[in-house]
């Protein structure tokens, strides 16, 4: 399954060199505003596992639910968002916008978050966890993903 993707105009192309640690589908009001849609799908992955094949995304500081801001990396030409960093944590973990993958179906959500502000006509699939706001990764992530995340702290 291809793990390549890019922006709408083709100036940015990237490849994920590993499967993501976890995939959040976020129904918060910020994600709705930023995308102009009902939710954002974010694959959480180590920054060094995202290889930029073409172009150089540019960072745009944007507000986030936490109040600590999020850096959204966009194509300098078509301005499509490719990934974000959250909470002033620096560029260790990327929240990659799954819709920019060539085959987004390869990364379905592992969890639905901020469902308290979900659009009422969005019907969630049975069998996928859903929480009203955020969650503790320790309670939801597979152990291997938790270990990958923990390994980033020393970097």
Binding site for Zn ion (CB under 5 A): 7, 9, 11, 26, 28, 31, 75, 77-78
Residue 7 vs 107, nearer CB to Zn ion: 7
Residue 18 vs 88, nearer CB to Zn ion: 88
Residue 18 vs 79, nearer CB to Zn ion: 79
Residue 18 vs 63, nearer CB to Zn ion: 63
At its nearest, how many Å lie between Zn ion and the CB of residue 113?
7
At its nearest, how many Å lie between Zn ion and the CB of residue 58?
11
At its nearest, how many Å lie between Zn ion and the CB of residue 39?
8
At its nearest, how many Å lie between Zn ion and the CB of residue 155?
25
Residue 19 vs 77, nearer CB to Zn ion: 77
At its nearest, how many Å lie between Zn ion and the CB of residue 92?
19
Q: Please provide the DSSP assignment of the chain as one string.
A: ---EEE-SSSS-EEEESS--SEEEEE--HHHHHHHTSS-EEEEEEEGGGEEEEES--EEEEE--TTSS-EEEEE-TTT--EEEEEETT--TTEEEEEGGGBS-GGGS--SEEE-GGG--TTPPPPTTS-B-SS---HHHHS-HHHHHHHHHHTT-
Rounded-to-integer distance, Cα 121 and Cα 115, Å: 12
């Amino acid at each position: 399954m291809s793990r390549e993707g890019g922006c709408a105009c083709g100036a940015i192309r990237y490849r994920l060199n590993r499967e993501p640690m976890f995939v959040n589908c976020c129904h918060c009001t910020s994600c709705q505003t930023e995308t102009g849609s009902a939710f954002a799908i974010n694959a959480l992955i180590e920054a060094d596992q995202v290889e930029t094949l073409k172009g150089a995304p540019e960072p745009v500081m944007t507000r986030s639910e936490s109040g600590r801001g999020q850096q959204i990396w966009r194509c300098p030409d078509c301005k499509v968002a490719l990934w974000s960093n959250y909470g002033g944590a620096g560029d260790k973990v990327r929240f990659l916008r799954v819709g920019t993958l060539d085959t987004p179906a390869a990364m379905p959500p592992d969890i639905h978050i901020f469902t308290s502000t979900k659009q009422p006509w969005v019907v969630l699939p049975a069998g996928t966890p859903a929480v009203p706001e955020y969650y503790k990764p320790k309670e939801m992530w597979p152990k291997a993903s938790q270990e990958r995340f923990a390994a980033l702290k020393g970097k």
